[in-house]
Amino acid sequence: MAGDGRDERAWVRGAQAGSASDLEALFRAHWPRAYRAAYLVVHDAAGAEDVAQEAFLAAVRALDRFDSNRPFGPWLHRIVVNRAIDWARARALRREVGADEAVATAHAPEAGDVAARPSEDVLAALASLAPDHRAVIVLRYLLEYSPGEISRILELPRGTVNSRLRRGLDSLQGLVREEESE
């Protein structure tokens, strides 16, 4: 869990002043969600580690310019999610691995096993979406941003965010229903 606003501001100011323990507190508070968000977009553990790690490195490099009165999370999540989208797109473009296909295959639930593994259903369904659509779902449901905040984070029109949310959720529910009926 991220710390409350007061803790976080103190950690940011401490890290800016060179405190390793404050940086560690900030890192420990934000790493789990940053890594999970990256993983849910890129669907690759090493890729997610790279993305999340690069985001923290970018944050460290820009630490001196960061306004400690602003929340750290949205700033970090913007970097994480945009880098994750770039990573997933680049991977798809280069056909390095059929990432979506591989993940869909890897996580496709076996018949009769659906109810026992709801998270795998969601992951497999998520894999069927384009990376930028996955990102909208992750920002909304994992990181709990409002559509307006998501539109600012991804620099997308609000209507685009809403339509991607709707389509993404429809796909998730459709796929999950499909699998449940098998």
Within residues 16-55, the interface with other proteins by CB under 8 A covers 18, 20, 23-24, 27, 31-32, 35-36, 39-40, 45-50, 52-53
Which stretches within the chain are classed as H helix? 5-16, 20-42, 45-61, 72-94, 99-107, 118-127, 131-137, 147-154, 158-181
Closer residue to other proteins (CB): 48 or 79 = 48
Closer residue to other proteins (CB): 53 or 68 = 53
Within residues 50-109, the interface with other proteins by CB under 8 A covers 50, 52-53, 56-57, 60-61, 63-64, 87, 90-91, 94-97, 102
Segment near other proteins (CB under 8 A); pick from 5-13, 69-77, 138-146, 147-155: 138-146
Give me the DSSP letters along 51-74: HHHHHHHHHHHTGGGS-TTS-HHH
User: How many CB atoms neighbour CB 106 within 10 A?
Assistant: 12
**Least gap, CB of 94 to other proteins (angstroms):** 6
